[in-house]
Amino acid sequence: MTVFIENEIEAKFDFDYESVIKSVIEEAVSYVNCPYEVNVEVTITDNDTIQSINRENRDIDRPTDVLSFPMVEYQEAGEFDFLEDEKIACEYFEPDTGELMLGDIIISVDKVYSQAEEYGHTVKRELAFLVAHSMLHLFGYDHMEDDERIEMENKQSEILSNIGITRD
């Protein structure tokens, strides 16, 4: 598994944020029973930068907490069987490593801190939550409908619980 983390703004945390990010990603991969080694890129940035990205990619001109840019177009969320087709698989696997290129996660550290305070839990828990949420998007899950939202909320909670990160 390759997890590339870029801290664009040299954000400071009072814990090993890279270890937290990697452990959430590892657990999410295990949780959905992904049968492949994966490649994920995570960028830590600020509200101004994420607002610009949000505006360019979603026509929403405001900062958000996390953006997910999946590389894989799933036929069904969390279902990997279609990748057995070599014609399809060649689009999604890194040729040099053979890893499934899941996509990119962009996180606003400003939102991590403000939402941790707003929701009354730790910065570590908020960062882990945003990574878990985004990983589910990279696996094809969404929350546009109420039943999808409930499913994602349950999966996020289970992923975090499995690695011992709960609301404090």
Q: For 32-52, what is the mean pLDDT? A: 97
Domain tally, the chain: 1
In a domain, 95, yes or no: yes
Buried b (16+ CB within 10 A) or exposed e, 58-78: eeeeebbbbbbebbbeeeebe
Which has the closest alpha carbon to 32: 106, 128, 137, 130?
137
- Return the pLDDT at 129: 97
In a domain, 168, yes or no: no
Cα(19)–Cα(161) distance, integer angstroms: 16
Local confidence band at 21 (pLDDT 50, 70, 90 cut-offs): very high
Which has the closest alpha carbon to 134: 158, 164, 165, 156?
156
Question: pLDDT by residue (tens digit) across 148-168?
Answer: 889 999 999 999 999 999 876
In a domain, 63, yes or no: yes
Cα(6)–Cα(79) distance, integer angstroms: 29
Question: pLDDT by residue (tens digit) across 69-107?
Answer: 999 999 899 999 999 888 888 899 999 999 999 999 999
> In this model, does residue 30 exceed pLDDT 70?
yes
> In this model, does residue 116 exceed pLDDT 80?
yes
Q: Is this structure's pTM higher than 0.85?
A: yes
Question: How many helices, marked H, and strands, marked E, lie in the chain?
Answer: 6, 4
Cα(21)–Cα(168) distance, integer angstroms: 18
In a domain, 167, yes or no: no
Local confidence band at 42 (pLDDT 50, 70, 90 cut-offs): very high
Q: What SS3 class is residue 125? A: helix
Structure tokens at 10: 């040299």
> In this model, does residue 144 exceed pLDDT 90?
no
- Return the pLDDT at 168: 60
CATH number at residue 39: 3.40.390.30
In a domain, 143, yes or no: yes
Q: What torsion do the CA atoms of 110, 46, 29, 144 make, to the nearest 10 degrees?
A: 80
Alpha helices in 59-122 (DSSP H): 86-89, 109-119
Structure tokens at 41: 């890129």
Local confidence band at 32 (pLDDT 50, 70, 90 cut-offs): very high
For residue 108, give the amino acid letter: S
Name the residue range of residue 53's domain: 2-162
**Residue holding tokens 């049968």?**
35
Q: For 21-50, what is the mean pLDDT? A: 97
